[in-house]
């Protein structure tokens, strides 16, 4: 008789639940969308950081660096609630904005990008020129 302990295999129900959680986590948001990152960078890099906040909304937090540059954590505002029982539009774009000591955006980094209203990217929808 073999007395070596064996790892218990998960039940089919547990395995299905785990796969569903993994699938849902992948559907909701993504961090590494190169096309969205390129659109945001092209639109924002080189512009005054104040103009960015005037157009897209206030930052959530800021961190001044020893060299005079500033790192901002920014999140898009949630949209208004549509008629009916849907609740507010919770699609957001979250970015880290790096501004040089002159107050110009040096780079942006998308941290969270929910699906948009008509595309797979809320950030791309916000920063594609109209």
pLDDT digits (tens, 9 = 90+) for 107-117: 999 999 999 88
Residue 116 DSSP label: -
Tell me how far the alpha carbon of residue 8 is from its chain's centroid. 38
Distance CA 110, CA 30 (A): 9
Looking at CATH, the fold of the domain delimited by 30-79+89-127 is given as Beta-lactamase Inhibitory Protein; Chain:B, domain 1 (3.30.1450)
Question: Which residues pair with residue 30 across a beta bridge?
Answer: 113
**Confidence at residue 25, expressed as pLDDT on a 0 to 100 scale:** 41
| pLDDT at residue 20 is higher than 80 | no
| pLDDT at residue 32 is higher than 70 | no
Q: What angle do CA 91, 59, 95 make, to 5 degrees?
A: 55
């Amino acid at each position: 008789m073999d007395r070596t302990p064996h790892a218990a295999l998960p039940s089919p129900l547990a395995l299905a639940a785990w796969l569903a959680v993994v699938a849902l986590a992948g559907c909701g948001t993504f961090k590494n969308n190169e096309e969205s990152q390129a659109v945001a960078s092209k639109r924002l890099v080189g512009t005054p950081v104040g103009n960015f906040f005037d157009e897209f909304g206030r930052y959530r937090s800021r961190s001044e660096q020893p060299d005079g540059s500033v790192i901002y954590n920014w999140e898009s505002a949630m949209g208004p609630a549509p008629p009916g029982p849907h609740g507010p539009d919770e699609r957001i774009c979250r970015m880290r904005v790096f501004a040089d000591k002159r107050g110009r955006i040096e780079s942006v980094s998308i941290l969270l990008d929910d699906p948009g209203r008509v595309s797979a990217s809320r950030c791309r929808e916000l920063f594609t020129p109209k």
